[in-house]
Amino acid sequence: MKKKWLAILLSITTVMAGLTGCGNSGQGGENAAESKASEAAASGTETGESTAAPAEGELVNVIWQWPAMGATGSGFQAVEDALNAMLEKDIGVHVTLEPALFSDLQNQSTLTITSGEQLDIILQVGTGVTPYVANGLIQPVDEYVEEYGAAIKEKCGTQLLGGYYQGKLYGIPTAYIDGESYGYMARKDILEKYNIEIDPDKLYTLDEVEKIFETVKAGEGDKFFMNIPETTSANMLHNAYCEVDTLGNTPAAGVLMLNRSFTDLTLYNLFETEEYEAYAQKMYEYAQKGYVSSDAATNTEDAN
């Protein structure tokens, strides 16, 4: 019965990348995970799950791992409450979001499952699914998407192909947008104080952003410094200074310089380009003008 509810939840979210079972065994380590996976295959159930259907009116609780950069803040609970206001009424499911550090997602999910704790949905980011599949930590979702996921197939289209591994579908890609966006976060009260209007449809250049910094710095003095969100710092160049394609998570293997041409297939060392030199010079100027905190290189405080 629980499979059905997880499948329905899958079909209305389209943001998770793996489906896991709920372990009840006290065993730990990879062998325990493999053992539980084998037992599940033999019995025709999910890893460690009970086959008993929930009582009439009883909510099915789904534990959903969620990546966090640090402290989640009060808004995190508000998101969970808003989800459950819909899910409990519509499909009888209560979702519990479990924050896990973004940099440690794989370790967190592996430890949780192998220790026997319940974990139903994980968000796999930054690593392939190979270790999850090899250790029996996730299961394919082909049959559930076929039965309940018409909306997933329509929304994802060819992007769904990215969720396959060895011929089986293990993940649902994020398909709410066909691109990435990065930028600076600004306090609304500060913008209003200096009558700064931000056009949400405009891509601002670094020179235009600097004019905003200059205005606020003049009024706020040492109380102001810019703060690039953690997910932004490595990608600011790509979106605000010049367009490149990293062909992966990092520019380590070379990049396509899309700002020069969309037909040039030459791989460039990003850090040897004139564009990167200009970007580095701009960041140096920011620091000299006091737009960057003097302890930015050593400050471990969360961006929020």
> Based on the domain organization, do 150 and 211 belong to the same domain?
no
Q: How far is C-alpha 31 from the chain's CA centre?
A: 29
In the chain, % of residues over pLDDT 70 = 71
The listed range with the strongest mean pLDDT (53-62, 138-147, 228-237) is 138-147
Task: State pTM to two decimals.
Answer: 0.50
Q: Which two tokens stand for residue 12?
A: 């209305």
pLDDT per residue as tens digits for the range 237-276: 555 677 888 877 678 889 999 889 989 999 999 999 999 9
Reported as a pLDDT band with limits 50, 70 and 90, residue 126 is low
Which candidate, 101, 119, 98, places its Cα nearest to that of 110? 119
197 phi, psi to nearest 5 deg? -105, 130
Residue 197 in domain? yes
Q: Which two tokens stand for residue 299?
A: 């400050």
> Based on the domain organization, do 104 and 13 belong to the same domain?
yes
d(CA 69, CA 230): 8
Residue 204 in domain? yes
Between 20-29, 70-79, 151-160, the lowest mean confidence (pLDDT) is in: 20-29
Residue 176 in domain? no
3-state helix, strand, coil in the chain (%, to 5): 45, 10, 45
Using the predicted structure, report yes or no on whether residue 17 has a pLDDT greater than 70: no
Using the predicted structure, report yes or no on whether residue 81 has a pLDDT greater than 60: yes
pLDDT in the model for residue 212: 92
> Based on the domain organization, do 53 and 112 belong to the same domain?
yes
Do the Cβ atoms of 84 and 96 come closer than 8 Å? Answer: no
Where helices occur in the chain by DSSP H, the ranges are 2-13, 29-43, 74-91, 105-114, 130-134, 142-148, 150-156, 188-193, 206-220, 236, 274-288
Residues 6+ apart with CB under 8 A from 133: 165, 166, 170
> Based on the domain organization, do 258 and 151 belong to the same domain?
no
CATH number at residue 41: 3.40.190
Reported as a pLDDT band with limits 50, 70 and 90, residue 206 is confident
232: containing domain: 188-288
d(CA 74, CA 231): 20
pLDDT in the model for residue 180: 57
The residue ranking higher by pLDDT, 302 or 260, is 260
Using the predicted structure, report yes or no on whether residue 40 has a pLDDT greater than 60: no
Angle (deg, nearest 10), helices 274-288 and 206-220: 10
Torsion 233-175-104-303 (CA) sign: positive
> Based on the domain organization, do 72 and 195 belong to the same domain?
no
> Based on the domain organization, do 192 and 105 belong to the same domain?
no
Residue 121 in domain? yes
> Based on the domain organization, do 164 and 275 belong to the same domain?
no
Among the three residues 169, 202, 232, which one is the final residue of a domain in this structure?
169
- Cα angle: 129, vertex 130, 135; to 5 degrees: 105
DSSP conformation class of 52: P
Residues 6+ apart with CB under 8 A from 74: none
d(CA 18, CA 67): 13
> Based on the domain organization, do 53 and 158 belong to the same domain?
yes
> Based on the domain organization, do 150 and 198 belong to the same domain?
no
Q: How many CB atoms lie within 10 A of CB 146?
A: 12
Residue 18 in domain? yes
pLDDT per residue as tens digits for the range 139-176: 899 999 999 999 889 888 888 888 899 999 998 877 66
Residue 296 in domain? no
pLDDT in the model for residue 106: 81
> Based on the domain organization, do 200 and 161 belong to the same domain?
no
> Based on the domain organization, do 130 and 220 belong to the same domain?
no
Do the Cβ atoms of 165 and 19 come closer than 8 Å? Answer: no
Residue 298 in domain? no
> Based on the domain organization, do 112 and 6 belong to the same domain?
yes
In the chain, the number of structural domains is 2
Residue 293 in domain? no
